[in-house]
Chains A and B, each alone.
Chain A
Amino acid sequence: MKKALAFAAALALMAGAASAQQYPTKPITVIVPFAAGGPTDVIARIVGESMSKTLGQQLVIENIAGAGGTTGITRGKEAVNDGYTIMMGHMGTHGAAPALYPNIRYNPVTDFEPIGMAAGTPIVIVARKDFPASNLKEFADRLKAGQDKLNEANAGVGSVSHTTCTLLHVQLGTKPTRVPYTGTGPVLNDLVGGKVDYACDQIVNLVTQIQAGAIRAYAIATPTRSPALPDVPTTKEAGMPEYEVSAWNALFAPKGTPAPIVARLNDALSKALDDANSRKRLLDLGGVLPEGNERTSAWLGTFVAAEVDRWGKTIRAAR
C-alpha cells in the first residue's frame, strides 16, 4: 500500500515536472473580471491573441464580471495554480479594492504570482464644453471655490472614474457634489449635454468627444502627452504634478503557480507588447505600455503593493 502511494506520488511529481517543461499543453483560461467590450477586456483580447501564437495554445478569455471586478479575481485566486488559469488584474481589483470592499476575499499583494504589466490607459480630466475655465489651474481654483455648485459625474462607486476623481478631490482638498451613474456611457451623455460639470476617466472613453470639441479636456495624468491628444497638456505641465494616475491592467496567476510557467507567460506577454500589430492596436487605444524593467514580474509585485497603499490612503482620506 505504502509502495503504491509512493509510486503515485512519484508519478504526480513527474507529471508536474513534465507539465512545467511542456507547458502549455492545453488552452489557457484568462479571467477578465469585467464585461466583454470594456477597456480591460479589449486589452486582454489584444495581448491574448499574440500570446496564443507565441505559446502555441489558445488563450480563452472568460469574462466574469461583478462587484467592481472582485468576483472574477476571487474566482481566479481559487483556481488551480497550474498555469492554466490566469487573470487580468486592474487598478481597481489590485489597488483600490481592499479599501473599497471590506469583505473582499483576497489580498492583492500576497495571494497572487504577478506575471507582468500589460498596458495602462491614462486618465484625463474633462469638463462640459462651456465650463468657465481655460486651463487646469483655473479649473482647480473653480473647484476649490465653488464646490457647492459644481457636479462631478462618475461611473459608480469603485469605478475608475470614481476612484481617480476621489484622488483629485483629496489632493485639492475639496468635497464637491458627486453624481453616480452606472457606467461611463451615461456619464458622457450628461457631460456632453451639459447636465453635469466635470469628470475624470480613461482616455479611450473620451478621446473622440474631446477631438470633436463636445467636451473640454484640461490635462492628461501621465508623464508624457498622448499622441491621440497632442494638444492636451500633462498634469505636470499644467502645474499639478502630484496627480499622476492611469488605469493599469496586468496579468496575475494564482499563488503557487510554478516559477518557470510564470516566466514563460511573462516572456509571451513581453513578446506581445513588442509585436508590431498588437503594439499598434494598444497604442491606438491611447494605451501606455511598460518598457524595460517595468515588464518584469518583480516590478509588478512592488508596484501592486505601492498601489494598494496609495489607494487605501486616498479612499480613507475622502471619507
Chain B
Amino acid sequence: MTQETKRFIRAPQDMAAGLFLIGLGAFALWQNAGLERGTLRVFGPGMMPTILAWACVVAGFAVGIGAMLWNGPKLERWTFRGPLFILGSAVAFGLTVRPLGMAVAAPLAVLLSSMASSETKLGEAAIFAIVITVFCLGLFRFMLNLPIPVAPWAIGY
C-alpha cells in the first residue's frame, strides 16, 4: 500500500462510488426538472426528489473527495458470465411467463441460470429443470391455484 499513497486517487473503489452517487443524483435532477417544486406550505411533486437528488450529489462529492485523501481498496475485477446468465434467466422468465406459460418459463430460467456457473453439468441441470418445473406447477398452480399461465399454447390456460 505504501507505494500507492502518492497517487492522486487513493481509494479507487470509493472514487467510483462517489461518481455513482453523483450520477444517480444528476439523473434524478434531470428527470425531475419539469416538476413543480411548490412552496413550504404546499410542497410540489418535485420538492422532495429535488432535495434528495442534490443531497445524493453532495454525498457523492464527499465520498469522492475522501477517496483522494485516504487510502482505500481498489476496484474489484468484474465478470460478465454470472450477471449475463443469472439476470438473463430472470428476463427470460419475465418475457415468457405470460405468452408461453410456466411450463416453458420455469425450465428456461433453470437452464439459463445454470449456465452462469462453471460447475454446472448439463445433463444434471436438464433433469433438475424438469423436477423443479413439476414441483412449481404442482405447488403454485394446482395446490395454491395461483393465476399463473401453465401452457396456454397446449392446454389453453
Contact = CB atoms under 8 A, between A and B. Distances in A.
Interface string A137-151: 000000000000000
A25 B156 CA distance: 10
B157 interface: yes
Interface in A39-67: 58, 60-62
Contacts of B155: 26
Contacts of A58: 145
Contact of A61 (B147, B156, B157): B147
B39 to A, nearest CB: 14
A84 B156 CA distance: 10
Contacts of B157: 26-27, 84
Interface residues of B, number: 5
Contact of A26 (B145, B147, B156): B156
A78 B18 CA distance: 44
Interface in B109-157: 145, 147, 155-157
Nearest to B155: A26
Contacts of B145: 58, 60
A74 interface: no
A205 interface: no
Nearest to B148: A62
Nearest to B146: A60
A1 B146 CA distance: 42
Nearest to A31: B147
A71 interface: no
Interface residues of A, number: 9
A29 B147 contact: yes
Contacts of B156: 25-26, 84
A96 B156 CA distance: 35
Interface string A71-89: 0000000000000100000
Contacts of B147: 29, 60-62
A60 B145 CA distance: 8
A58 B145 CA distance: 10
Nearest to B145: A60
Nearest to B152: A80
Nearest to B41: A177
Interface in A242-258: none
A178 to B, nearest CB: 10
Interface in A1-48: 25-27, 29
A57 to B, nearest CB: 10
Contacts of A62: 147
A33 B155 CA distance: 26
Interface in B13-70: none
A125 to B, nearest CB: 25
A208 B129 CA distance: 51
A85 B42 CA distance: 43
Interface in A154-200: none
Nearest to B98: A75
A61 B52 CA distance: 39
Nearest to A62: B147
A292 to B, nearest CB: 33
Nearest to A177: B42
B101 to A, nearest CB: 13
Interface string B79-118: 0000000000000000000000000000000000000000
A62 B155 CA distance: 19
A84 B157 CA distance: 9
A61 B145 CA distance: 10
Nearest to A63: B147
Contacts of A25: 156
A27 B149 CA distance: 11
13 contacts: A25-B156, A26-B155, A26-B156, A26-B157, A27-B157, A29-B147, A58-B145, A60-B145, A60-B147, A61-B147, A62-B147, A84-B156, A84-B157
Q: Which 6 pairs from chain A and chain B are nearest by CB?
A: A62-B147, A60-B147, A26-B157, A26-B156, A29-B147, A27-B157
Interface of B: 145, 147, 155-157
Given A26-B155, A61-B147, A84-B156, 9 more contacts: A25-B156, A26-B156, A26-B157, A27-B157, A29-B147, A58-B145, A60-B147, A62-B147, A84-B157
